Each structure stands twice: as C-alpha cells, then as structure tokens.
Chain A
Amino acid sequence: MPTVELKKVTMKFGDVTAAEDVNLLIKDGEYVAILGPSGCGKTTIAKIVSGILEPTEGDVYIDGRRVNGIPSEERRIGYVFQNILLFPHLSVWDNSIYSPRVKGLDDKEQKALGNETLQMVEMLKESAKFPSELSGGAQQKVGLARALATRAGLLILDEPLSALDARVRVDLRYTLRNLVKNLGLTAIHVTHDQEEAMSVADRIVIMRKGKIVEQGPPAQMYHDPQQIFTANFLGESNFLEGVVDRTIDSWAVVELRNEQFIRVKGNGLRRGQAVVVSIRPEHLTLTKVAAAPMLIGKVQDVHFAGAYVRYDVTVRTGDALIVDAIADDARFNTGEDVIVLFDLKHVRVYPRPYAGLQEALKLE
C-alpha cells in the first residue's frame, strides 16, 4: 500500500495561509489521524493529498511518485466525506459500485466488488434500499463501501463520523479501524474529535494555525505531550502558572500564585524560570489527609459524568481546577474543604509560553 509524503507544503488562499511548510511522512499501512480545531488546516492537507487542491508551494509524493499536477482520479485514492453524499435516486447497491473506476469493470467483477465491500461494512442485506430509508450511520457505511470498492490502497477520511450521533460515532470508529487494518490500507483520517483520533489511529498529527504542533502514537501523545497545546487539546488538563523558586537535585520547587508552593520533578528547570505546571483531572485526587505534593482547596461544584465524577475545586493559588474521580460515589460535597493531591509522575512542567497561557491554549 502507498506511502504518502508532503515536503514543505504551503497552501495560501489569497492572504490566508491555510497550511504552512508542512512536512509529513505516512508509512505503508499506517493509520494517521490529523487532529485540530476548525481552521487549523487539516482538511486542506487531506485535499492536497487527494488532488482536490494544488499546493501553492511544496511537493506531494504518493508511493514515491511526485503527484503535483496529477488529477485526483489518477491518484488511486478512496475518499470518504463528512457529508455522506450518496446518490438519493440510486440503491445501496448502485451507490456502492458507483465510482468510475468500478464502472469500467465488466459486470462480473462489478458484482464481486459490490458484494465484497457491502459485506465488509455489513450492509449487503440492505442492497436494495435507498439512502432515504437508512439511518445516518448506515449511509456512512455505504459511503465507506463505495470508497473501498475502488480498491484504492490509500483511504482519505474527511471527518467521516462528524455528521452522526455521538453513540453511532463510537460504534463506527471500531468498524473503520478494523477495515483499514484488515485490508492493510494506508489511511489519513481528519477529525476535530480527540477521542476519535486516539481510538482509531496509529499516529496522531496535531495541527494548529496551518502548522503541525506535535505528532506521535496516541498513548505517548496523551501521557507525555511535549507541547502545552497538546496537553490541553488531547484530553483535558489543569494549568497552574508559577516561577521556579529553587532546584534540589532532580527536583524543583515552583512558587505558584498567592505564595503557594509545589514540588515537581524538575530536570532542566532553572531558578527564576517562568513555568506552567500541568496535570490531567484524573491524576488529581481529593482527600482529607495531607501528603505531598498537594494544594488546599474548596469544592465549588460536583458533576456526575457516568464513569467518573467531576469536581470543580478552587485552590489557594486562586486557580480553578477540575478533578475527576473514577468510580467515586461523590464523597465530597459543594463547599467542602479538601486537599488536592498531585500524582507526581503525571505532572508536566512547560516553559511559560511567550504569548501567554491563554493564547497558547486557545481552541479557536
């Protein structure tokens, strides 16, 4: 299956730069999710790979061949769109074998392909139905079958699940990953949904303002984000601003607001450095018993979220923290004084961003 490579790709629309100097190599059989907020350039990248857009600068290679200037239909790509775009007057069957590449085959081959791909997405029984008789999820499965029927080795999925209900979305992402892996395809999946990206992809590429912020396997990106934007965008995080007060061996003591101190692992930190201490809500624990490292606070609100309980807690630094307790029966109440314990191995310390914390975390 094909590799994909972008070299110094820039895309400008008038004054707007949608993608800037993007370098990306996607391996044979790799499932890559491009994740980012609206307007980050992720769809632009998908369109450049597929040939819908021609980059202003830079080169695109598919399977080692430079494809700049080569039209979409000659790139052997299966494309699945957010808006499902089935032909309303055609049956599921006819939709599944619609693509020109399939149309060029003889009847027998067409039939074999239609059967095979509809079976893969478990829609063969619905062959005779029309799109209007199907749910959104079922329609998207037909869209996927149509893309697979082209026998393209590279699949581009542009927000394929975004138009669907939350619940259906969760079910379908399993289907997607399974199909791609079983068929050994190379896939580029564009999404703004972090959980979707984490659950389907071998590698996540996070984009913001036309540039790649960070990339890596989902678990590594979640547990050890190198960039503060990633820490916030992939999952949620608490951020506390402070200054390194002193360093002792591999430890650092950070002075937070209101003369509160916290001890963190501090390799490479230096005295006087402005930093942001980051920790995910599930790595904080509420207790009544003091232990280090901790901050003292008060519960402001309690929200039940199913598999976990979320506490809004203000601590003495003045910061508002979110604390998630898994399998907790809401042991603490609004107004209660609590101790917030930090799980040290999950604390990350970042240099304070030049443009300010708010700007560095901005979601839109």
Chain B
Amino acid sequence: MPDIVLRGLTKRFRGRVAIDHVDLEVKNGEYMVFLGPTGAGKTTLLRMIAGLTKPDEGDVIIGGKDVTKMPPEVRGLAYMSQTYSLFPQLRVWDNVSFSPSVKGLPPEDTERLAREMLLLVGLLDRRDAYPRELSGGMQQRTALARALAAGTNVLLLDEPLRALDARLRIALRLSIKKLSKDLGITALHVTHDQEEALLVADRVAILRHGRIEQIGLSRQVYNDPVNPFVAQFLGEADFFLGEVDEVSSAGTKLHSGTRHWVARTSRLHPGQDACVAAKSENVRIVRDGADVQNKFEAVVTRKLFLGRFVGLELTSKETKLPLKVRLEAERGKDIEEGSRLALSIAPKDLMVFPIPPGGLAKELEVE
C-alpha cells in the first residue's frame, strides 16, 4: 500500500525557502496534481519524494516506511522528467528495458515486461527506433513505458506534457491518467497548466511560495477557493474591493462606494475591508429591465475570440477595477467593443475574502 505521507517537509536553497513545512497525504491509487506558477516549489517537492533532492527538515513516508534517508533506487518509485531523459544511443526497446530493477530480472522476464509496457503505450511496433526517429508524443510514451517498466506502484511525473505541442497536449492529457488508473498505481503529476490540472486530477494541490495554499477535488478548489490567489489562478476571475456591512448564514452584505452587493456567506465581520471575487463565466449578461440581484452596467473595451468562448474586457464605474467576462461563443456573437451591457452576478457566485496581506495586486501576481 504505497500511500505517501509528507510531514513538515522543508527545503532551502542558499537560504531561500523552496518548500516550507509541507504536510500531505496521498491515498493509494490516487491521481494527485501539484499545480502552481514557476518557482512555487512543485518540482522540488516531487524530487524530494523521489529522493533526488534531500530535504532539510521533515519526513517522506511511503507505504508506511520512512524513506527520508533512503536513496531513490530503493524507494520503488518511477520518475519521469520533463525532458524524458531517454538514452539517445539506445533503441526504444533498450530504453524501456534499461531500468536497474528490470536489469536484475531474468532475460525472459525483462523481455515480457518490456513487451507489455510497449504494448500498453502503443509503441511495440517502434521497438527498434532510436529516440531521434520518434515524434515528441512517441518519445513521451517511451519515457512513460520506461518509467512503468520499473514495476512501480507510484509514478512521479514532472510536467509530463510540457515538451509537446499545445494541441497534442490537449489530446494526450487524459491518457496518462487513464493508464495509471488501469494499472491501479498512485500518480503525482506536476504542472503549471490549470486546465490540465483540473481535468486530470482526482485532487489538486495548489502551491505558492513553497506552501500548499489549498488541496481538494478539482471542483472544490475551483468553486470554493480559499484566497484570491487560488480564485484567479484557476480559470479567470474578477475582483473588486468593498467593506462588509452584515454577515449571516444566508450571505454577506457589503458595499463598494455607494453601491451595495450581496455575496456568499463568509467569516468576515461588519466594518472589515473585503476583496470580492467572481469567476469570469459567472458574470452574466442580463436584460436591461431584469429584476436580479447585483445588477450593474459596464462598457465593453475589448472582445477576444477564444474558440468556444468569447472573452470580453469591460470597465464599470461600480467595480472600478476592469472586468473580464467569458461567454459561450454563440451568446457573444453580437456584442461589440463599445457596447454597454447590463450584468449581474448571483450572490452564490460572489466570493468574499479578507484583504490579503501585501494587498490585492501583490496577491494576484503569478510570477
């Protein structure tokens, strides 16, 4: 049972904290994604689990066993790097049957294992090719087959799709998950791509500055972010500032200038300054005369075509900060730059947070 437990895991590089007291439990067979911007510590965290980077503090426990001081090769994990690290001088077959744990097997077992893994990733017919003769997607699958051939129960994936073309990434993003679910293994997948993370994860851990900001099902972290950073890092969100008037289990009443808003309930208290947020697809266009809560007006400053969606940028006196709205392409068809729109945000879609330490602008930085 390869449950992974991290306790107080900490790593500093030249005095700078890369991972800051991370606690985490990953269940057997779970597909866990570490998501965050560059420099958040995702890869460092993965490398500490793999045994490739030594933690300064804390423990790594795999399958009930403390492996913190053990070298990578005895941890029973498979690690796939961003760049795949295939041996250029070896054929696909030899790359896959290379792993030390495979090498220790009798030849017929090695043969069987390599064959099985290549069949699994659909590359048995390319067994004699050299890596340079393969497309990017095939190289990735070779690396995956090699990682799996180690006979592991835990697969560590560092940006497994990053080296691929955008369209291919979309086509392949669910394939690794499917494979690991079919094999019943536990997987940790590092990415900076939020859509990829939401789509493939059983649970997502969102990292920033070496800490886990939030962890949960894709739906939870998307719909109920714990802070403005998470709210805007997943998808796209709009923000404005206000002051709380009243909080009850039914909702939070607040105002921004002379304008009043009704939002989700919160733990803020009357008089407290608040940061108010909504996902950009939850800002809805309504009829001029519609009798709905949180109705306001805005002017379209820019319209962007995004395929299935149309992205609008708007300015509104009511929120002061510029707004982004995401519409289904069909609905956005007739809207033009300069159009004045009536908008509304349902109270359940309006989230309220305390003003982050350092201010809102700093909180929303993604680099």
Contact = CB atoms under 8 A, between A and B. Distances in A.
Interface stretch (B22-30, B43-51, B110-118, B160-168): B160-168
B251 interface: no
B135 to A, nearest CB: 4
Interface in B67-111: none
B309 A364 contact: no
Contacts of A282: 308, 328-329
A304 interface: yes
Contacts of B222: 304, 306
Contact of A194 (B192, B307, B367): B307
Contact of B233 (A167, A195, A303, A304): A167
A248 to B, nearest CB: 28
A30 interface: no
A218 B166 CA distance: 17
A306 B282 CA distance: 11
A194 to B, nearest CB: 6
Interface string B113-152: 0000000000000000000000111000000000000000
A324 to B, nearest CB: 7
B37 A199 contact: no
Given A192-B167, A193-B166, A326-B281, A305 B195 contact: yes
Given A165-B367, A282-B308, A233 B167 contact: yes
Contact of B136 (A38, A168, A308, A330): A38
Contacts of B328: 282, 326
Nearest to A234: B307
A294 interface: no
A348 interface: no
Interface in A124-153: 135-138
B38 to A, nearest CB: 5
Given A192-B167, A326-B281, A364-B137, A303 B199 contact: yes
A224 to B, nearest CB: 12
Contact of B311 (A137, A138, A199): A199
Contact of A307 (B165, B168, B193, B279): B279
A219 B310 CA distance: 10
A280 interface: yes
Contacts of A198: 305-307
Interface in A197-256: 198-199, 218-219, 222-223, 233-236
Contacts of A192: 165-167
A167 B236 CA distance: 10
Given A135-B38, A167-B366, A304-B198, A327 B167 contact: no
B306 A195 contact: yes
A110 B208 CA distance: 40
Interface residues of B, number: 42
Given A165-B366, A198-B305, A198-B307, A306 B194 contact: yes
Interface string A297-315: 0000001111110100000
A38 B174 CA distance: 21
Contacts of A326: 281, 328
Contacts of B307: 194-195, 198, 218, 222, 234-235
B235 interface: yes
Nearest to B307: A235
B171 interface: yes
A222 to B, nearest CB: 5
B308 A218 contact: no
Interface string B237-275: 000000000000000000000000000000000000000
B308 A235 contact: yes
Contacts, number: 112
B166 A194 contact: yes
Interface residues of A, number: 44
Given A304-B219, A306-B234, A324 B167 contact: no
A193 to B, nearest CB: 4
B305 A218 contact: yes
A363 B165 contact: yes
A304 B37 CA distance: 21
Contacts of A306: 194-195, 198, 218, 222, 234-235
B304 interface: yes
Interface string B216-242: 011100100000000001111000000
Interface string A319-358: 0000010110010000000000000000000000000000
Interface string B344-367: 000000000000000000000011
B308 A280 contact: yes
B170 interface: yes
B166 A307 contact: no
A135 B38 CA distance: 9
Contacts of A327: 281
Interface in B176-206: 192-195, 198-200
A166 interface: yes
Contacts of B38: 135-136, 165
B306 A307 contact: no
A310 B173 CA distance: 13
A363 B234 CA distance: 27
A135 B137 CA distance: 29
A223 B328 CA distance: 13
B211 interface: no
Contacts of A280: 308
Contacts of A219: 305, 329
Given A199-B306, A234-B307, 6 more contacts: A136-B38, A138-B367, A174-B304, A193-B166, A194-B167, A327-B281
The 8 closest A-B pairs by CB, nearest first: A135-B367, A193-B166, A364-B135, A192-B165, A166-B193, A304-B218, A306-B235, A165-B192
22 contacts: A37-B168, A135-B367, A136-B367, A170-B236, A191-B166, A192-B165, A193-B166, A194-B167, A195-B166, A219-B329, A235-B308, A282-B328, A282-B329, A304-B217, A304-B218, A305-B198, A305-B199, A306-B195, A306-B198, A306-B222, A327-B281, A364-B135
